[in-house]
Amino acid sequence: MFTFSVLFGVMMPAHVVYVQAARQPYDVHKIIDAFRTPNDDLKILCAHRGLRWNGTAENSRDSYFRASEADIECIETDIHLSLDGQLPMTHDHGLGRTTDIGEMTGQAAYNPYTAEGFNPKVGGYNFTGLGGIEQLRLRDEQGRVRDEYVPTLPQMIESIFDSGMNVVLQLDFKDETAIEPAYWALKHLTNRAGVPANEWCIYKLQSVWYQTPEVFEALPWVQDAFRSGIKLAFIPVYDPEYVGIFDQMASAKLFSQTNYTISLEVELRNVGGPIQDILDYTRDKSSPIRTAGTFFAGGDFTFPNTDKLTFFDTANYSLPADLHVNNSLYTYVENKAPMLLDAQVGNSSSDGHDYRSDFNWIIEQGYQWIIADTADGWHSRLEKQGLRNVSRLIADGRRVVDGTLAKTWYKRSVWWSAFA
Ligand SMILES: *[C@@H]1O[C@H](CO)[C@@H](O)[C@H](O)[C@H]1NC(C)=O
Ligand SMILES: *[C@@H]1O[C@H](CO)[C@@H](O)[C@H](O)[C@H]1NC(C)=O
Ligand SMILES: *[C@@H]1O[C@H](CO)[C@@H](O)[C@H](O)[C@H]1NC(C)=O
Ligand SMILES: *[C@@H]1O[C@H](CO)[C@@H](O)[C@H](O)[C@H]1NC(C)=O
Ligand SMILES: *[C@@H]1O[C@H](CO)[C@@H](O)[C@H](O)[C@H]1NC(C)=O
Ligand SMILES: *[C@@H]1O[C@H](CO)[C@@H](O)[C@H](O)[C@H]1NC(C)=O
Ligand SMILES: *[C@@H]1O[C@H](CO)[C@@H](O)[C@H](O)[C@H]1NC(C)=O
């Protein structure tokens, strides 16, 4: 009989990995189905770079465990390609903000607020070997160095296997050249339930890279997936920034008819703005694709709750007490004074606003899935609104998620503080 359990892993000498992840009894194929199929009582949530606050570094194992413990079924995550062809999971093109490369190389640590310090490109480094990325520790969002190292995508998949987590990933490739190596690296990996990683790691690709199914299906790795019977999960990202570059609506219609496109990401900034037609298409009952997702823009690398604890020197930059002004939100912008999201929206919006920082607005647009920095907060809010019936995601024969597990996840920070 299935019982909920908390796994206690081992402390390994080189890389200290302490696995203490509650695993919800989700079936990853059901999660993928919930991307495809609109449900009136369930919005899908993707934790943006994992749950990465309060001392947990983004794209770290800990951020994954926390997401899983908070019942979150999807993690949106970032992939780069290192010089030696490995797949380090970092967001920025530079290593400065998210690792201790400054300290490790005897140079000034990078400060994202001022752009001072050492911030070399990920792609200029080997992952393995002396001076490799694998020796770098991760920094949390407040700039503190944690006792955790930069993982590669396959290593993260192995951690998911080891801890028995049942999550799907949205792979956000920061570098187009990392896509094919990721496919081959994942080909023989599975989660604990034995499901191939290439069926629950969603290839979420910028639509501008492969604009039609014809181009996409000609890729050697996509052909290999077809030949091998792997059910790829693909989401093309449509964005107002690509207006004028190619016909996104035509692209969306073609991809919608394929067996591997599970949903569309439609980064609409306001009602009636550029690419509204694509969102409308997903709402049309006769269209082959009936779901869309978006990003909840809540500010990039600083969260107001923890802002006053920031260890980075914010120099003369600070956030105003009230972040919400004119239906917009103040956020830190790398190397610049905090700015309203609206100040960055340009002609991606037809009324000058970026509404993606407005929870209610996103729900009103009928999005089926949302990428959010604060996925745990969204989970509780949506639950109250009857929009988080996660029992739809539970594996057959398993029992309903035990919500009390979600309340235990701060315990880990006690452990971290002993090592910080
Ligand atoms: C950080 O922890 C505090 C205290 O438990 C909590 O109130 C706050 O919501 C947390 N912040 C985030 C972003 O989770
Ligand atoms: C990367 O690794 C290769 C092969 O070991 C080596 O020849 C090269 O010097 C390394 N490059 C850097 C920047 O460390
Ligand atoms: C999906 O479609 C492709 C061609 O469009 C086909 O080769 C492949 O077998 C199909 N895959 C599945 C899992 O049905
Ligand atoms: C947005 O504005 C810029 C100039 O401000 C212009 O070059 C570009 O074509 C505009 N894009 C769209 C989609 O209107
Ligand atoms: C902050 O300081 C920098 C120089 O260190 C200066 O260029 C910038 O204008 C200042 N910003 C504000 C908002 O005062
Ligand atoms: C808010 O909108 C008003 C009216 O358009 C404008 O005068 C004001 O400068 C705006 N505030 C900010 C912080 O942009
Ligand atoms: C939740 O979804 C399940 C199907 O998985 C359904 O049987 C159940 O009635 C739903 N619960 C509520 C409260 O709607």
pLDDT of the chain, 420 residues: tens digit per residue: 233 222 333 333 333 334 445 578 899 999 999 999 999 999 999 999 999 877 889 999 989 988 988 889 999 999 999 999 999 999 999 999 999 999 999 999 888 878 889 999 999 999 999 999 999 999 988 788 888 999 999 999 999 998 888 999 999 998 899 999 999 999 999 999 999 999 999 999 999 999 999 999 999 999 999 999 999 999 999 999 999 999 999 999 999 999 999 999 999 999 999 999 999 999 999 999 999 999 998 755 455 444 555 667 666 677 777 777 887 888 777 777 788 889 889 999 999 999 998 889 999 999 999 999 889 989 999 999 999 999 999 999 887 766 555 544 434 433 333 333
Ligand 1 centroid, distance to 292 Cα (angstroms): 29
Question: Reading across the β-sheet that carries 324-325, which strands appear in turn?
Answer: 324-325, 328-333, 336-340
Cβ(326) – ligand 6 distance below 6 Å: yes
Atom of ligand 3 nearest to the CA of 231: 13
Q: Are 122 and 88 in contact (CB under 8 A)?
A: yes
Q: Which amino acid is at 180?
A: E
Q: In this structure, are strands 328-333 and 336-340 parallel, antiparallel, or unpaired?
A: antiparallel
- Record the pTM: 0.89
How far, in Å, CA of 261 to CA of 289, rounded?
Answer: 8
The CATH code of domain 28-419 reads 3.20.20.190
For 286, counting Cβ atoms within 10 Å of its Cβ (0-12 exposed, 13-18 middle, 19+ buried), the class is exposed
How far, in Å, CA of 54 to CA of 66, rounded?
Answer: 11
| Joined tokens for residue 248 | 């996104």
Ligand nearest the Cα of residue 395 is: 7
Cβ(386) – ligand 7 distance below 6 Å: no
Of all helices (H) and strands (E), which one includes residue 213?
helix 213-217
How far, in Å, CA of 323 to CA of 49, rounded?
Answer: 22
Nearest Cα residue to atom 8 of ligand 6: 326
Q: Which amino acid is at 69?
A: E
Of all helices (H) and strands (E), which one includes residue 333?
strand 328-333
If you write DSSP's letter for every residue of 378-402 in order, what string do you get? HHHHHHHTT-B-GGGGBPTTPPPP-
Ligand 3 centroid, distance to 189 Cα (angstroms): 21
Of all helices (H) and strands (E), which one includes residue 235?
strand 234-238
Q: Around Cβ 34, how many Cβ atoms within 10 Å?
A: 26
| Joined tokens for residue 143 | 């700039």
| Joined tokens for residue 220 | 């050697």
Ligand 1 centroid, distance to 130 Cα (angstroms): 37
Report CA dihedral (12, 101, 159, 374) to the nearest 10 degrees.
130
Q: Are 323 and 293 in contact (CB under 8 A)?
A: no
Q: Around Cβ 96, how many Cβ atoms within 10 Å?
A: 23
Ligand nearest the Cα of residue 241 is: 4
For residue 207, the 8-state DSSP code is T
Residue 346, phi-psi category: left (phi > 0), alpha (psi -120 to 50), beta (remainder): left
How far, in Å, CA of 66 to CA of 71, rounded?
Answer: 9
Nearest Cα residue to atom 9 of ligand 2: 126
- Report residue 202 CA to chain centroid gap: 11
Q: Are 378 and 298 in contact (CB under 8 A)?
A: no
**Per-domain residue ranges of the chain:** 28-419
| Joined tokens for residue 48 | 């943006």
Q: Are 149 and 135 in contact (CB under 8 A)?
A: yes
How far, in Å, CA of 196 to CA of 177, rounded?
Answer: 22
How far, in Å, CA of 359 to CA of 284, rounded?
Answer: 23
Burial 150-172 (b: 16+ CB within 10 A, else e): bbbbbbbbebbbbbbbbbbbbbb
